[in-house]
């Protein structure tokens, strides 16, 4: 193959299967879930496409005075059960197809935990590590301006995702509020608590992953106090899940960041290892023994939690996974093909749309607090999160037992049944 070939030419020349996009995966999963239930095919056809995809260009004045243009997106998938809801990510790979797929996942995620929201996702194709704080602020405020007619507290409510955080949400809330001449806290969730953010929101996705892991281990008769766990990713989701499971008695043998994993077969002191937020990319500096991220995924543990990025378990390594159980912390860490290899090998996988739904659940609590101008205690947030997660777990478990399907199929069946019922009740207009 000529080294001068363009990326498109190289893609044509290669015999390898191209990587699955989140949209491919989301559509496969939709069709698979639809095959189990009695659903109007017109509703499935409608759900194959987003309601809208907003695409904008964002001029950013860099600190050196030059101007660079970035692409921004907001995909709104379905709002039959309530306003569009979902994160905004800043990542160099963000593109139209990716946000379309991720928006579909948000529709299923909100439905599986029975929140009155639909699904959306957006972002900017920028590497946030290359931006100064001032540049990130200017980019965020200009992006918010471009989305002014798209987002709103009753229409579409963004939240943090990869590469964005509470500060990003604060700038969005401020920009929107100034433009509307009205402080509108409920336009985004995942804000700092000083401006209407909820206690417990930051830890919520990791907490729900830990709750689901606890239930899954219990379901398959593992004692939490004897279970071994490996966690890929030590950002908000991975670190909080690992630390909670550690506190509840599990033995966390490996945690990782982009540089590799800290490994101790007798159990790591997870609180002594800084999370990405505390000290970025420092996990391996705090380890006596390190292994690679690939080796972490293939450890012979009771439970594996991929909580870093998408597509880490693919057809290339699915046959080498040794864990008995997997709980997805990240969005889409397992490709559709890898998923069926794992199912054939009887490795039980709880999907992202259930496991990490604690994030959007506490976003919902935040939105309710903002609308009502009330503040909930951390105990109340965590108690209500536990109730929502256990109700969702029970609904999914019921489908696993009633239909003898995987946990992923069961979660999609629960979500799709609720969405289909709402579409049937509302009908199509005009
Ligand atoms: N970005 C998070 C997710 O993928 C949270 C979305 C939200 O809170 O709206 O679930």
- Which tens digits make up the pLDDT trace of 334-374? 998 999 999 999 999 999 999 999 999 999 999 999 999 99
Please determine, for residue 134, whether its predicted confidence score (pLDDT) is greater than 80. Answer: yes
Phi, psi of 51 (to 5 degrees): -65, -45
For 223-248, what is each residue's pLDDT tens digit? 999 999 999 999 999 999 999 999 99
Ligand 1 atom with the smallest distance to the CA of 362 is 8
Between the CA of 139 and the centroid of ligand 1 the distance, in Å, is 21
159 lines ligand 1 (CB under 6 A): yes
Phi, psi of 380 (to 5 degrees): -65, -45
Between the CA of 6 and the centroid of ligand 1 the distance, in Å, is 36
Please determine, for residue 45, whether its predicted confidence score (pLDDT) is greater than 80. Answer: yes
Rounded Cα distance between 224 and 247, Å, is 10
Residue 136: closest CA among 93, 95, 172, 102: 172
Strand (E) or helix (H) holding 99: helix 96-112
Per DSSP, the three-state class of 222 is coil
Is 204-350 assigned to CATH 3.40.50.720?
yes
Task: Give the pLDDT confidence score for residue 349 in this predicted structure.
Answer: 98
Q: Using DSSP bridges, classify how beta strands 67-78 and 156-160 pair: parallel, antiparallel or unpaired.
A: unpaired
Catalytic option among 85, 109, 121, 199: 121
Between the CA of 161 and the centroid of ligand 1 the distance, in Å, is 6
197 lines ligand 1 (CB under 6 A): no
CATH 3.40.50.10860 domain extents, the chain: 50-182
Q: What mean pLDDT comes out for the span 27-47?
A: 94
Ligand 1 atom with the smallest distance to the CA of 117 is 9
In the residue annotation, 121 being an active-site residue is answered as: yes
86 lines ligand 1 (CB under 6 A): yes
Lowest average pLDDT, out of 19-23, 48-52, 116-120, 291-295, goes to 19-23
| Predicted confidence band of residue 210 (pLDDT cuts 50, 70, 90) | very high
Fold of 50-182: Rossmann fold (3.40.50)
Q: What mean pLDDT comes out for the span 101-129?
A: 97
Per DSSP, the three-state class of 172 is helix
Q: Is the dihedral of CA 105, 111, 113, 118 positive or negative?
A: positive
| Predicted confidence band of residue 17 (pLDDT cuts 50, 70, 90) | low
Q: What mean pLDDT comes out for the span 306-316?
A: 95
Q: How far is CA 65 from CA 68, 134, 135, 175, 319, in A?
A: 10, 12, 11, 22, 51
Between the CA of 89 and the centroid of ligand 1 the distance, in Å, is 10
291 lines ligand 1 (CB under 6 A): no
| Predicted confidence band of residue 254 (pLDDT cuts 50, 70, 90) | very high
352 lines ligand 1 (CB under 6 A): no
Q: What mean pLDDT comes out for the span 70-98?
A: 97
Rounded Cα distance between 416 and 398, Å, is 15
- Asked if residue 184 lies in contact with residue 178, where contact means CB atoms within 8 angstroms, the answer is no
CATH 3.40.50.720 domain extents, the chain: 204-350
Please determine, for residue 1, whether its predicted confidence score (pLDDT) is greater than 70. Answer: no
Between the CA of 312 and the centroid of ligand 1 the distance, in Å, is 20
Rounded Cα distance between 253 and 328, Å, is 17
| Predicted confidence band of residue 181 (pLDDT cuts 50, 70, 90) | very high
25 lines ligand 1 (CB under 6 A): no
Q: Give every CB contact of residue 316 below 8 A, 6+ residues apart in sequence.
A: none
């Amino acid at each position: 193959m000529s080294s001068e070939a363009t990326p498109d030419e190289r893609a044509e020349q290669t015999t390898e299967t191209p990587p699955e996009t989140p949209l491919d995966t989301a559509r496969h999963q939709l069709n698979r879930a639809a095959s189990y239930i009695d659903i109007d095919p017109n509703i499935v056809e409608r759900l194959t496409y987003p309601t809208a995809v907003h695409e904008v260009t964002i001029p950013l004045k860099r600190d050196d005075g030059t101007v660079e243009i970035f692409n921004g997106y907001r995909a709104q998938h379905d709002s039959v059960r309530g306003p569009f809801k979902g994160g905004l990510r800043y990542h160099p790979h963000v593109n139209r197809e990716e946000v379309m797929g991720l928006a579909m996942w948000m529709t299923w995620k909100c439905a599986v935990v029975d929140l009155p929201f639909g699904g959306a996702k957006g972002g900017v194709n920028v590497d946030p590590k290359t931006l100064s704080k001032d540049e990130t602020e200017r980019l965020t405020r200009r992006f918010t301006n471009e989305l002014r007619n798209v987002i709103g507290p009753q229409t579409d409510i963004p939240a943090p995702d990869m590469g964005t955080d509470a500060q990003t949400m604060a700038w969005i809330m401020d920009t929107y509020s100034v433009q509307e001449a009205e402080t509108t806290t409920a336009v985004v969730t995942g804000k700092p608590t000083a401006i209407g953010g909820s206690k417990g929101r930051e830890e919520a996705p990791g907490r729900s992953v830990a709750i689901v892991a606890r239930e899954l281990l219990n379901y398959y008769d593992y004692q939490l106090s004897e279970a071994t766990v490996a966690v890929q990713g030590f950002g908000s989701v991975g670190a909080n899940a690992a630390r909670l499971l550690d506190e509840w008695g599990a033995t966390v043998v490996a945690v990782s960041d982009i540089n590799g994993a800290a490994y101790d077969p007798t159990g790591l002191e997870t609180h002594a290892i800084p999370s990405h937020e505390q000290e970025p990319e420092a996990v391996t500096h705090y380890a006596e023994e390190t292994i690679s991220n690939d080796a972490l995924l293939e450890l012979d543990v009771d439970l594996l939690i991929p909580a870093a990025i998408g597509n880490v378990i693919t057809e290339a390594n699915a046959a080498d996974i040794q864990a008995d159980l997997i709980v997805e912390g990240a969005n889409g860490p397992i490709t559709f093909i890898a998923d069926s290899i794992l199912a054939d090998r009887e490795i039980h996988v709880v999907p992202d749309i259930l496991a990490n739904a604690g994030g959007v659940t506490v976003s919902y609590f935040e939105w309710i607090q903002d609308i009502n101008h009330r503040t909930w205690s951390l105990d109340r947030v965590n108690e209500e999160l536990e109730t929502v997660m256990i109700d969702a777990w029970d609904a999914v478990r019921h489908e696993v037992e009633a239909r003898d399907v995987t946990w992923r199929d069961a979660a999609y069946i629960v979500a799709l049944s609720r969405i289909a019922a709402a579409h049937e009740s509302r009908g199509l207009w005009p």
